[in-house]
Structures are given as C-alpha cells and as structure tokens.
C-alpha cells in the first residue's frame, strides 16, 4: 500500500528541508537509490518514501531518518521492499548473503550488528524467498528495527563496499 502523495510531501515539508541526489552530492558521496537500480522489481511499496529514507540516511539526517523509518514500518509492503533491496544488494556484493547477516553467532564479532528481526527476515530471503506471512507476523516495532538495519546496511555498502561487514 502506497502512502498518499500529500503524506509524503508533509514528511519532507515538516522537516523544513529535503534530501535528494543534490544534497548527497554536496557531501561528495555517490549514491543511487535502490528504486533506480532495480526498477524492474514490481511492488506495492511506496518507493518514493523508501528513496527519501535512503537519501536521509546518506545525508546523515537522524531526525528525518527516524520519522521516515516510522512511516516505512507502518507499511508492511514498504518494509518488505526495503529488506528485499538490502538482501539483493548485499547478495550482489558478496555473491550471496554472508552468515554475519543471518546468524546471531556469526554477527557477534562484527562491527555491524544486524537486528534479530532483520537476521530472521534475511534468513527467510536467503533460504526460500520472503513470504508475506513472515512480514505480517512482525510488529511495527520489529519492522522498524529491521528497516533501520536494512537502511544502515545499504548505506554502509555504498560507502565501504565489500569491506563494510569485515572492518
């Protein structure tokens, strides 16, 4: 389910600033939102909202990121798309999902600590592909936690590349 356009506009307007490709370039960081890299993945998710979340994450605007994470977590489809993107991008980077993202013991010694919910959803993605049922069973708090991990993961990968998980 997509958020109505006026809701997305209010999110940006309420922050009194915007996050977009131009603000990312000012920080001298290269970034292309997943919706532009993977447009062929049809979805009912609000990709504009997800792009705003990624731009706010890359711009390191914690206030906007927090607000946008709340909105993403309230929409099961957007949360699922965000996790799918993070898993797809990670799989492309490492030729599969590293154990550090799906196994609690393997992630214990890494700097990047994925949330328990993200690890469960990533394991589902890795093993059989995600199903709607697993996302429907998550609470909004769990979806927010997983979405936060996914956004941080993709941001870390775009800054550090394959070295990100092993610093």
Each residue's pLDDT tens digit, 4-36: 444 444 444 345 566 666 655 555 455 555 555
pLDDT reported for residue 19: 60
pLDDT digits (tens, 9 = 90+) for 80-121: 889 988 998 899 899 999 998 998 888 777 778 899 999 999
The pLDDT confidence band at residue 150, using thresholds 50, 70 and 90, is very high
Detail the DSSP E strand segments found in the chain.
Answer: none
**Long-range pairs, 30-36, Cβ under 8 A, ≥24:** 30/158, 31/55, 31/58, 31/158, 34/85, 34/88, 34/89, 34/154
Domain residue extents for the chain: 5-166
Q: Is the pLDDT of residue 58 over 70?
A: yes
Spell out the residues 6+ positions from residue 144 whose beta carbon is closer than 8 angstroms to its own: 69, 70, 72, 73
Spatial contact of 105 and 144, defined as CB atoms under 8 Å apart: no
């Amino acid at each position: 389910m997509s958020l109505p356009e006026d809701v997305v506009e209010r999110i940006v307007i309420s922050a009194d600033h915007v996050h977009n490709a131009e603000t990312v370039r000012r920080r001298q960081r290269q970034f292309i939102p997943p919706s532009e890299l993977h447009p062929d993945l049809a979805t009912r998710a609000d990709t504009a909202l997800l792009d705003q979340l990624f731009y706010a994450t890359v711009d390191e605007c914690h206030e906007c990121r927090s607000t946008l994470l709340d909105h993403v977590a309230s929409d099961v489809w957007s949360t699922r798309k965000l996790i799918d993107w993070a898993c797809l991008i990670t799989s492309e980077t490492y030729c599969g999902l590293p154990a550090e993202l799906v196994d609690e013991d393997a992630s214990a010694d890494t700097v990047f600590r994925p949330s328990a919910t993200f690890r469960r959803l990533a394991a589902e993605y890795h093993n059989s592909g995600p199903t709607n049922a697993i996302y429907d069973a998550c609470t909004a708090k769990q979806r927010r936690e997983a979405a936060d991990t996914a956004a941080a993961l993709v941001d870390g990968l775009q800054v550090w590349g394959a070295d990100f998980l092993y610093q």
